[in-house]
């Protein structure tokens, strides 16, 4: 999957605008400089020696920007090295260690790309920088402004939140706009919270479900950036305003700000996860966390999946907890997409949705069609076998059709000259509907 890189900030733009109206414009300028500098640094960085292990090559490295904006900055500490004595550096080290441990030990994922890539972090970014972000290549943390925000490494769920953006980028690749963008933010809050709860040894019932607890200074009337269980209640402050997150689809934000409300509307799926985790019981990372991770990584969730599609994907992975997950989505007003891959059948089993997209031909036209095969339908296995055995396909002649099949979230491109009679019959049936 081609990753979609975007800068994901923990502090939503509507808060940044209240705190420092010029900061948003300034950040835009930083991004171009960051990209150019980081590309230069990474291309000059020596590769690990052949035969070295992931730990020897470095699971993570913490750099300091020294309150400047050049990235990644000066190396301070790497995996396996002792504490540096810099509180911020050592908080980042402990946070990323716990975050990577969750993904590896619970979900079997080796770093954010699944292949053990080193995690690069920079602390002490800029002066009075009240934010943390993932820029598509590394994690960055500011020291806060001292008036509203303290240092951003102080809250371990912020570190987990930013790493989870990288995981999402390398799995479903949810676009950072509208409902898919809100799901992107939601996934980061889910695993940021799971990481915090795991390190504290808390059950779903014991957790506070607050994202960024401890970030605010004592002058702020609030408990954190977001409240997953009770969206809209995290803060109510004369300077910051009131937490705008909705807890139900009836109140969803539909305006243009915040990339279509990616930080605002994440409150809706956040509440669904917290409700599901509490209903399932035990700890959230083993219960609802495993269901959400399976939905994120099994191919059913794609770049433009909305709340309804994601709900269907989680319900399809819920197994014995299907009632708890279904009820959680219902309580926030999300109806699972019946036509989405993995939407459950009447007995809780998942139907197989097969789609075809035919393009090209002399006229260059595109046609689409789909069919839903009921659970237990023998043709579902036949379709999977046909596509699995289609093999690599290359154009055979000009002006011929190109068929793109999708089944169980997996896509296969077959050129017309390679179509088996069975696949042709299936495609024609779907396109005629």
- Find the catalytic residue in 6, 9, 162, 317: 162
Report the Cα 243 to chain-centroid distance in Å.
22
Q: What does the block give as tokens for 41?
A: 């640094």
56 catalytic? Reply is no
CA 402 to each of CA 75, 357, 365, 371, 417: distance values in angstroms, whole numbers, following the listed order: 50, 8, 11, 19, 9
Q: What is the separation, in whole angstroms, between the first and last Cα of the chain?
A: 30
Cα-only R_g, the chain: 23
What DSSP designation does 255 have?
Answer: S
Name the active-site residue from 161, 170, 263, 321: 263
Which of 425, 396, 398, 393 is CA-nearest to residue 411? 393
Number of H helices, E strands in the chain: 13, 14
Cα separation, 322 vs 10, in Å, equals: 31
Active site residue 162: yes
DSSP 102-143: HHHHTT---STTSS-PPEEEEEEESSS---EEE-SS-EEEE-
Q: Which residues are catalytic?
A: 162, 263
């Amino acid at each position: 999957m081609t990753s979609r890189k975007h800068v994901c900030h923990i502090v939503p733009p509507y808060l940044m605008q209240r705190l420092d109206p010029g900061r948003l414009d300034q950040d835009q300028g930083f991004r171009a400089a960051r990209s150019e500098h980081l590309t230069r640094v990474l291309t000059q960085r020596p590769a690990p020696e052949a035969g070295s292990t992931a730990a020897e090559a470095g699971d993570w490295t913490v750099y300091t920007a020294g309150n400047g904006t050049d990235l990644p900055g000066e190396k301070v500490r790497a995996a396996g090295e002792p504490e540096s004595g810099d509180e911020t550096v050592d908080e980042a080290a402990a946070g990323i260690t716990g975050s990577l441990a969750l993904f590896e030990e619970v979900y079997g994922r080796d770093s954010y790309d699944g292949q053990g890539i080193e995690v690069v972090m920079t602390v002490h970014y800029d002066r009075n920088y009240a934010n943390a972000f993932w820029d598509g290549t590394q994690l960055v943390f500011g020291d806060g402004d001292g008036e509203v925000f303290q240092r951003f490494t102080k809250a371990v769920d912020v570190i987990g939140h930013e790493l989870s953006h990288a995981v999402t980028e390398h799995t479903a690749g949810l676009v950072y706009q509208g409902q898919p963008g809100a799901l992107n933010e939601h996934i980061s809050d889910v695993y940021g919270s799971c990481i915090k709860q795991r390190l504290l040894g808390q059950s779903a019932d014991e957790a506070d479900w607050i994202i960024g607890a401890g970030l605010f200074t004592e002058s702020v009337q609030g408990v954190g950036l977001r409240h997953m269980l009770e969206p809209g209640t995290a803060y109510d402050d004369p300077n910051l305003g009131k937490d705008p997150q909705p807890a139900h689809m009836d109140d969803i934000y539909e305006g243009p700000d915040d990339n279509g409300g990616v930080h605002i509307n994440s409150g809706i799926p956040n509440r669904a996860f917290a409700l599901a985790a509490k209903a399932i019981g035990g700890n959230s990372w083993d219960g609802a966390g495993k269901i959400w991770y399976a939905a994120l990584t099994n191919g059913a969730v794609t770049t433009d999946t909305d709340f309804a599609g994601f709900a269907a994907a989680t319900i399809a992975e819920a197994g014995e907890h299907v009632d708890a997950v279904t009820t959680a989505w219902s309580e926030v007003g999300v109806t699972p997409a019946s036509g989405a891959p993995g939407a459950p059948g009447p007995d809780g089993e998942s139907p197989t949705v097969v789609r075809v997209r035919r393009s090209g031909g002399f006229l260059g036209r595109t046609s689409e069609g789909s069919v839903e095969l009921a659970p237990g339908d023998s043709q579902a296995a036949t379709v999977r076998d046909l596509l699995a055995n289609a093999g690599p396909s290359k154009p055979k002649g000009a002006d011929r059709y190109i068929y793109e099949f999708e089944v169980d979230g997996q896509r296969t491109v077959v050129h017309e000259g390679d179509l088996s009679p069975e696949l042709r019959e299936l495609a024609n049936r779907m396109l005629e509907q």
